[in-house]
Every structure is written in C-alpha cells, then in structure tokens.
Amino acid sequence: MREHKKNTPAMPPHHPDQHELIDWAMYGPKDRRIEHLVRQLAFEHGLRLRDIETWIVTALEEKLVELNRND
C-alpha cells in the first residue's frame, strides 16, 4: 500500500488528470515555461530557489483559499 505524505490529501479515485498528477510529482511540470521562469528569476535576477518556491506555494495556497471560500 502506498503512503501519502502528511497533510497531503489523497488523490480522488477518478480525477481526469490522475496519471499526469503522479508524473508531475515525480518529474516536475510539463509546461516548460515554469522551469524557464524559475531559471530566469534565479539566474538573471539572482533570486534564491527557496524564495521562488515560497512564492509558488503562497500563490497556490491563496488560490485554494479562494476556491474553498466559494464552495
């Protein structure tokens, strides 16, 4: 049986992107623009990866709060 990380919701059994989400967690995003933007922020502007990841997490958490509020 596969364990889920703490505080990580289990994947719904019939999500249309189920296989892509598993691959995304293992291999990263398919959209190459994400990698390009992260590299641009880091190499051209000297930003630290941990800061960029924090911004990404913050943006996703804000979207989740917005969606939960509308439920």
* pLDDT tens sequence across 14-64: 888 888 988 988 999 899 999 999 999 999 999 999 999 999 999 999 999
Q: Is residue 12 part of a domain?
A: no
Q: Which residues contact 6 (CB under 8 A, 6 or more apart)?
A: none
Give the integer Cα–Cα distance in Å for 37 and 40. 5
Q: Is residue 43 part of a domain?
A: yes
Domain range for 28 is: 18-70
How many domains does the chain contain in total? 1
Which of 70, 66, 57 minimizes the C-alpha distance to 7?
57
Residue 12 has pLDDT above 80, yes or no: no
